[in-house]
Structure 1
Amino acid sequence: MKKPLLTLTILLIGFSISSNSFCQTEQGALDATEAYFTAKMCDDYETLLNLTLPDLIEQAGGRESMRATLSKIHNNQRSKGIILQDYKIKQEIKQAKTKLETHVLIPIVTVSKVPGGTVTSESHLIAVGLEGNSKWHIVETSSLNEYNIHKVIANWDNTIVLPYKKAPVFKEDK
């Protein structure tokens, strides 16, 4: 009688530790996502650079080149009257652990002010946890698919399937 109870107790403790680890990982990814959107809304390029995968910064020619690119993108959007107003993180989060990284797929909804109305978009971000999930980086998936994701996230193992893209919804101002 003691052995089954002991086994059940060990299993429950293991599940609790595993569940707690999952929650901590998820929270780290969510915190990085919050920081990412706050930085985007405030044109905080330093935070955006810190949340960008080091390989992407290197591919862009270094931090200063990437900073210039981020600034150019934001200025281009602003000149067209496109301003990120709000974002919401949805709850259907998925995560996978590779040998070196943790990948967390985070569904989001963004609302941007555009000339004549607003555009609501449903998409996903990938939070990439490095160094035992002590460092997080954010990757937008808008231009990624199963064929090119490895160019951006080298250790992506296809455990998580990238969802289909949804068309943005325009709502005209009244």
Structure 2
Amino acid sequence: MNRVKKIVFLVIIAISTNLFSQTKADALKDAKIASNATLNMDFETVLKHTLPSILEMMGGKDAALNVLKQTFNGMKAQGFVFEKADINGVSEIVKEQGQFRCVIEGFNQMVMSGQRISSKSYLLGIYNEVDKYWWFLEAKQLKNTVLSEKVLPNFETQLDIPEDDMKLEPIED
């Protein structure tokens, strides 16, 4: 009987590990989908992967869609160009406060007003267990306690959320 228990235990560990690693792979895949959607100005997809409480703060999905379109159209009119939006990696996934979470490292490169803007930034990923995909929010926003309380009340994490890093350089012809 002891041998049967060991085999069952090993099978459970193998299944759990496989599901866990698939979730991390899914976080990477979904972050890349959201990143590419930003580059392609596919705001429907961007909003699908946006934490619902953020959409609520923006007045709902339709209002958020309108804000994104207006913002990007205004930036485009001023010469803004998104050159790159890459996802560099995903942290380990942790379960905290009843949610699966991870930190996503991204790199964005943009051009505006004769300057190239390079930014390494971080997203907090939260797994949507109902619909089986990841939601994201800018991790730096969680350092604003007023905003954090509105978006994720009583938020606590053991995840390391690094500071964003942005560089500006003039574009020389």
Question: Under a length normalisation based on structure 1, what TM-score does the superposition of the two structures give?
Answer: 0.80
1: distance between equivalents of 2:111 and 2:11? 48
Aligned residues of 1:85 and 1:112 also touching (Cα < 8 A): yes
Q: Deviations over 1:89-147 (max 9, x none)?
A: 22362322134321110111111122324211111112210226713212123443163
* Identity level (%): 22
- Number of positions where the alignment pairs a residue of Structure 1 with one of Structure 2: 172
Q: Secondary structure at the match of 2:143?
A: coil
| Higher deviation after alignment, 39-48 or 90-99 | 90-99
Task: Confirm or deny: 8 A CA contact 1:117 1:170 kept in the other structure.
Answer: yes
Instruction: Give the corresponding residue for 1:60.
Output: 58
Counting only pairs closer than 5 Å after superposition, residues 80-119 of structure 1 correspond to structure 2 as 80-91=78-89, 93-119=91-117
2:18 paired residue number: 20
**Residues 1:129 and 2:144 aligned together:** no
Measured on the aligned residues, the alpha-carbon RMSD in Å equals 2.8
Provide TM-score, normalisation by structure 2.
Answer: 0.80
Distance in 2 (CA, whole Å) between partners of 1:112 and 1:78 is: 11
Aligned to 1:94, what secondary structure does the other structure show? coil
In structure 2, the gaps of 5 or more residues are: none
Is the Cα–Cα contact under 8 Å of residues 102 and 133 in structure 1 kept in the other structure? no
Structure 1: 5+ residue runs without aligned partners?
none
Q: Matches of residues 130-145 of structure 1 in structure 2 within 5 Å?
A: 130-131=128-129, 134-145=132-143
Contact 2:32 2:86 in 1 (8 A): no
